[in-house]
C-alpha cells in the first residue's frame, strides 16, 4: 500500500510514478464500490469511480452516472459518452488517453440532479483523484463540476474559457447531454472543446516556469581594496 499522504504537501517530493498512481486509484475505486457515505448506494446498482490513464494530462469531470453507467460501473458509456468520445477524437485523443470521472459516484434515482449533501459526501473522492492523477488540465462537464471549482459562476458566462487554478488550467464546458438535448449547444460544445489543446500547452508553460530554479542573486560588488591593489 502506498502512503497517499506522502505526496500531498511536500514541495520537493518526487512525482508519483504511473504504477503508484494506478495502485492508489485502484484502492480509491475499491472504497467507492463499498461507499455508504450517502444514501445513493441504496438505490444504485454499483459505484462508478472513473477510469482512464492514471497519469493523464487531462481529467474530465461529469455530473453523476446515468442508467448505462450504473449498469456497467463505467463513466460516460451511454449517448453522452459517445458524444464525448467524438469530442475527444476531434482533438486527436481517445478515452484511454484521458481520465474520466464524475462529481458523484453513484447514480441518483431517476437521473435526478445530485443533492448538495450527496455532492459534499462524495467530493473528497474526486479531490483525491485530482491529487493522485495531478492532471495539467481539468475539463468540467456541466454546472455541478464547474461549481466545485467556480462556485456561484454561470456556465453560460464562462464556458470554453480556460482559467488558471494553481499550475493547472480548468476549462468549463456544457454537459454533453445538454448539447444532445438542445441542438443549438452542439456547436458551442464542439468549439469549446478546441480550447483544450491550447490549455494543455499553457499548463505546460506554467509548470516549466514553476520548475525553473530561482534566479541567482546579483553578485556582490567587487572588493574595493582588491581593485586598488591592481594598480
Non-local (6+) Cβ contacts of 57 within 8 A are: 98, 135, 136, 137, 200, 203
Phi then psi for residue 15, to 5 deg, are -60, 150
Report, in Å, the least distance between residue 112 CB and ligand URA: 13
Quick one: which of 66, 67, 131, 57 has its CA closest to 96?
Answer: 57
Question: Considering only 23-31, 74-82, 146-154, 204-212, which stretch makes contact with ligand URA by CB under 6 A?
Answer: 74-82
- Determine, following the binding rule CB under 6 A, whether residue 76 of this chain makes contact with ligand URA: yes
CA distance 85 to 26: 23
Site string for ligand URA, 155-194 (x = CB under 6 A): ----------------------x-----------------
CB 173, min distance to ligand URA, A: 12
Q: Does 52 sit near ligand URA (CB under 6 A)?
A: no
Residue count at the site for ligand URA (CB under 6 A)?
A: 11
End-to-end CA distance of the chain: 69
Phi, psi of 230 (to 5 degrees): -70, -25
64 interacts with ligand URA by CB under 6 A: yes
SS3 state of residue 152: coil
102 touches ligand URA by CB under 6 A? yes
What is the binding site for ligand URA (CB under 6 A)? 62-66, 69, 75-76, 80, 102, 177
Amino acid at each position: 500500500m502506498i502512503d497517499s499522504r506522502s505526496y500531498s504537501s511536500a514541495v520537493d517530493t518526487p512525482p508519483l510514478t504511473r504504477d503508484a498512481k494506478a495502485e492508489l486509484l485502484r484502492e480509491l475505486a475499491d472504497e467507492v464500490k463499498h461507499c455508504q457515505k450517502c444514501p445513493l448506494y441504496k438505490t444504485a446498482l454499483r459505484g462508478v469511480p472513473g477510469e482512464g490513464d492514471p497519469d493523464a494530462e487531462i481529467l474530465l469531470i461529469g455530473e453523476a452516472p446515468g442508467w448505462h453507467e450504473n449498469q456497467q460501473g463505467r463513466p460516460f458509456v451511454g449517448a453522452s459518452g459517445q458524444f464525448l468520445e467524438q469530442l475527444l477524437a476531434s482533438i486527436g485523443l481517445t478515452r484511454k488517453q484521458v481520465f474520466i470521472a464524475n462529481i458523484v459516484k453513484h447514480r441518483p434515482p431517476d437521473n435526478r440532479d445530485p443533492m448538495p449533501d450527496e455532492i459534499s459526501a462524495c467530493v473528497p473522492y474526486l479531490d483525491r483523484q485530482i491529487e493522485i492523477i495531478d492532471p495539467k488540465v481539468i475539463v468540467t462537464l456541466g454546472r455541478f463540476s464547474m461549481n466545485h471549482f467556480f462556485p456561484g459562476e454561470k456556465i453560460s458566462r464562462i464556458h470554453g474559457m480556460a482559467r488558471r487554478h494553481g499550475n493547472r488550467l480548468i476549462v468549463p464546458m456544457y454537459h454533453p447531454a445538454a448539447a444532445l438535448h438542445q441542438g443549438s449547444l452542439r456547436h458551442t460544445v464542439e468549439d469549446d472543446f478546441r480550447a483544450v489543446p491550447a490549455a494543455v500547452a499553457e499548463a505546460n508553460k506554467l509548470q516549466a516556469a514553476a520548475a525553473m530554479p530561482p534566479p541567482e542573486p546579483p553578485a556582490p560588488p567587487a572588493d574595493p581594496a582588491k581593485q586598488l591593489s591592481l594598480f
